[in-house]
Amino acid sequence: GAVVSQHPSRVICKSGTSVKIECRSLDFQATTMFWYRQFPKQSLMLMATSNEGSKATYEQGVEKDKFLINHASLTLSTLTVTSAHPEDSSFYICSAPVGTAHGELFFGEGSRLTVL
Amino acid sequence: EDQVTQSPEALRLQEGESSSLNCSYTVSGLRGLFWYRQDPGKGPEFLFTLYSAGEEKEKERLKATLTKKESFLHITAPKPEDSATYLCAVQEAGNNRKLIWGLGTSLAVNP
């Protein structure tokens, strides 16, 4: 089946630095990818929709200048957390849809970000 | 307000003890209901899609059913490897394809 690979799985950084997370579709092309954030005991929160070759669409309340998304090719989307602060510590997960319904998603392994 | 509620929040079963997880939803029109499994520290894994009331899907020890107001995930004779958090998501009919996620049910199956 389709595989989405996410890297790094864990990252620890100092406050004020930037962190880049990569999300790759390994055996299929993904014109759309979704970036989620998950806090303990909370539901998955959609942050933004990444569109190949165009600007990402951000959900309400998500700062686009803080969470930079680039989808430069049909197999790679990146999320850069700029000037990270401790409150940005979370589990970030990317996903790509199967077909056009966008409800069946292949998720990456997730990236645990800890900002000190 | 559109919402998805899963119950129970946590469930502990003995190996072989069958049970059901519930996902109730409130949307103006349903495009699809989706079940996922999530292991600790991992991304969710897609299990089932249900589109209309009365529909059922099965995979190994899992069976998902759908009514107009809720979905059940039945687990028959569970094994320890079925331990995970089970997430339910709903997609509303219309142009907005955004998923509404529940908080999940954390299932632990003891050997």
Strand boundaries in chain B, DSSP class E: 3-7, 10-14, 19-26, 30-38, 45-50, 56-59, 62-66, 70-75, 84-92, 99-101, 105-110
Reported confidence tier of residue B93, pLDDT bands at 50, 70, 90:
confident
Reported confidence tier of residue A100, pLDDT bands at 50, 70, 90:
low
Residue-wise pLDDT tens digits, A11-48: 999 999 999 999 999 988 888 999 999 998 888 999 99
Measured between beta carbons, which residues in chain B are less than 8 angstroms from residue A103?
A: 31-32, 34, 49, 89, 91, 97, 99
Exposed e or buried b per residue across B10-42, where buried means at least 16 C-beta atoms within 10 angstroms of its C-beta: ebebeeeeeeebebbbebeebbbbbbbbbeeeb
C-beta of residue B59 within 8 angstroms of C-beta of residue B47: yes
Among the partner residues A42, A94, A104, nearest to B46 by beta-carbon distance: A104
Q: What is the mean pLDDT of residues A50-64?
A: 93
Reported confidence tier of residue A1, pLDDT bands at 50, 70, 90:
low
Take residue A76 and report the two structure tokens written for it.
């790679």
Go through chain A and tell me how many residues it has.
116
Q: Does B102 lie at the interface with A, CB-CB under 8 angstroms?
A: yes
DSSP B36-48: EEE-TTS--EEEE
Reported confidence tier of residue B97, pLDDT bands at 50, 70, 90:
confident
Which of A22, A44, A62, A93 is the best mutation test for B, with the most CBs of B within 10 A? Answer: A44
Exposed e or buried b per residue across A59-97, where buried means at least 16 C-beta atoms within 10 angstroms of its C-beta: eeebeeeebbbebeeebbbbbebeebeeebbbbbbbbbb
- Check whether A101 has a pLDDT greater than 70: no
Q: How far is CA A55 from the centre of its chain?
A: 14
Order of all β-strands in the sheet with B19-26: B3-7, B19-26, B70-75, B62-66, B56-59
Q: What is the mean pLDDT of residues A83-93?
A: 96
Take residue B6 and report the two structure tokens written for it.
């899963």
Cα distance from B97 to chain A (closest Cα, Å)? 6
The bridge status of strand A76-81 relative to strand A45-51 is unpaired
Reported confidence tier of residue B37, pLDDT bands at 50, 70, 90:
very high
Measured between beta carbons, which residues in chain B are less than 8 angstroms from residue A46?
A: 98-99
Q: What is the mean pLDDT of residues B56-76?
A: 97
d(CA B82, CA B21): 13
Reported confidence tier of residue B96, pLDDT bands at 50, 70, 90:
confident
